Each structure stands twice: as C-alpha cells, then as structure tokens.
A and B are shown apart, each in its own frame.
Chain A
C-alpha cells in the first residue's frame, strides 16, 4: 500500500512565523502535490513537483514556497504566516504516467493566530 505521511496533524502558529509542513511518501512516486482544503471550495492546488528540485505553481501559490531535495520528501513553506492561511493542508503523490491516481496524506490542520 502507498503510504503518504505528514509531519503534524495539528499546528498552531503566530502571524509572521515561518512554517514548515513536511510530507513523505514511500512508493517512489515522481509527482508530489500540496493542496489546501477549505469548506465549500474543495481542494485547491498550491504547488506540485514532478521531480527532485523541480516545481510548478498551482492555482494558489501566493504566500507559499516549496522544497524537494529528495524524491520521497516534499516540503511546504509559509514564509510569513497570515491568518488567511488557516486551513487544512493535504499532501499527495502519484506516478508520473498520465491519469494516475493521487494518494493522499492524513492532512495538517493549521491555525494561524
């Protein structure tokens, strides 16, 4: 079974803090993704990576950056957290072939005060 893990289930941070969310997958997937989930909006893609050190912006990249130094690990960085970044953050991974299923982590619920 594919396993995608995220470093924290719940996180509380202060406005202006730098926040790191970590994601690790154990299935040697090329693609990794970061989404945020908000009620009524579904999931929106922040960034994705198709290879080590490669990244592409998703629909809502503003205020976020990412890092992928190793194939199995994909980090989401909030350079200066703001209250409007309070949300659920989901990581996913998939093979690089077209149409492949994405496998999700358990999510990190981030509260920015």
Chain B
C-alpha cells in the first residue's frame, strides 16, 4: 500500500517570497507518478505539477518546481515569487503505474500574505 505524508498542516509566506511545501511517500513500486494539486478557496482542484518517477530531472511549471529525491522518497514543492492567488490547500499525491488510484496526503494550507 502506498502512503503519502505532508507534515506541514499550515504555512504562510509573504508575497514575492519563496516557500517550500514538504511531502514524503512510501511505495514498493519501481514505476510511479507523483503530483501536486492545488485547491483554492473556490474548491476546484487543479493540477500544479506532475513528476514521473523514472525521470531524474525535476519537473517545473513556471513559478512551481519540485525537488524529487527518489532514494529519500521525498517530493517537495517550491513556489517562487509567491502571489496572493497561490493561497490554497495543496495536496501531494502518488499513483503507481499498475493502477489508476491516487493516494493523497493530508494537505497543506498555504496563506500568502500581502
């Protein structure tokens, strides 16, 4: 069974600063995928970034990047130049290639302060 842990229930950051959200996971699979999803106060969950475990290069998407440490089973999300619109719940999730079911962490509530 896969597990995903987000150790920071809440975080805050000043606008324009950089913040890192932590995520660790546990899986016995060799091929899997990792995701960060964002859920703004309006509730629509959207994909932030996706990482394929067999790719060594860290995924990036504009101001969002990940630090994927496969041996340590760590998958942190870095948000650069934080904006007020980044205020949201952030969920880390894993999916192994043999299945279709995502396993989610408990979420981190991020507040960006002006």
Q: List residues of chain A with CB under 8 Å of any chain B CB.
A: 31, 33, 40-45, 48, 50, 58, 88, 90, 92, 94, 96, 98-107
Give me 17 A-to-B residue pairs in the complex whose CB atoms sit less than 8 angstroms apart, sorted by A's number.
Answer: A33-B101, A40-B107, A41-B106, A42-B6, A42-B106, A44-B104, A45-B102, A48-B101, A58-B101, A88-B43, A92-B45, A96-B100, A99-B97, A101-B50, A104-B44, A106-B44, A107-B43
Q: Which of B87-103 contact A (CB under 8 A)?
A: 91, 93, 95, 97-98, 100-102
Q: Is the CB of A40 within 8 A of B9?
A: yes
Q: What are the residues of chain B within 8 A of A98 when measuring CB–CB?
A: 33, 97-98, 100
Q: Is the CB of B35 within 8 A of A101?
A: yes
Q: What are the residues of chain A within 8 A of B106 when measuring CB–CB?
A: 40-42
Q: Which of B1-41 contact A (CB under 8 A)?
A: 4, 6, 9, 32-33, 35, 37
- Which residue on chain B has the smallest CB distance to residue A95? B100
Q: Is the CB of A42 within 8 A of B100?
A: no
- Which residue on chain A has the smallest CB distance to residue B107? A42
Q: Is the CB of A48 within 8 A of B100?
A: yes
- Which residue on chain B has the smallest CB distance to residue A94? B100
B84 at the interface (CB under 8 A from A): no
- Which residue on chain B has the smallest CB distance to residue A99? B33
- Which residue on chain A has the smallest CB distance to residue B43? A107
Q: What are the residues of chain B within 8 A of A43 when measuring CB–CB?
A: 91, 93, 102, 104
CA–CA, A98 and B29, complex, Å: 13
- Which residue on chain A has the smallest CB distance to residue B99? A98
CA–CA, A105 and B97, complex, Å: 23
Question: Quick one: given A42-B107, A43-B91, are A102 and B102 in contact (CB under 8 Å)?
Answer: yes
CA–CA, A101 and B98, complex, Å: 14
CA–CA, A5 and B46, complex, Å: 14
